[in-house]
Amino acid sequence: MNILEHVGIENYLTLAALLFCIGAFGLLYRRNAIIMFMSIEIMLNAVNLLLVAFSSYHEDASGQVFVFFTMAVAAAEVAVGLAILVSVFRNIGNIDIDNLKNLKG
């Protein structure tokens, strides 16, 4: 029994779009690097949700395979990113991105 019979595909699309926008605005608005990471994760998961929904809609499993890939890559990205943030914190004492201005032209 397909789950899309209870909740229509358009609801998933709306939810994913909302999640993505929340992530994007969070990324732009917040200055704390950890929060920005969380925003990126929200955007990624919005996309994952879309992929899964369409996979189910088209009855094609390859969308779900993509989701696994995305999650693996996101985990790797977070691992590296957090390591960088730890290093930044050790050097300047906070992780406010407004303080990271040394690389300018």
Residues 64, 51 contacting (CB under 8 angstroms): yes
Among 24, 66, 91, 94, binds another protein (CB under 8 A): 24
Compare residues 91 and 102 and give the one whose CB is closer to another protein.
102
Among 31, 68, 82, 94, binds another protein (CB under 8 A): 31
Q: Mark the segment that binds another protein (CB under 8 A) among 2-10, 55-63, 75-83, 92-100.
A: 92-100
Compare residues 54 and 64 and give the one whose CB is closer to another protein.
54
C-alpha 73/C-alpha 66 separation (Å) is 11
- Tell me which residues touch another protein (CB under 8 A): 24, 27-28, 31, 97-98, 100-105
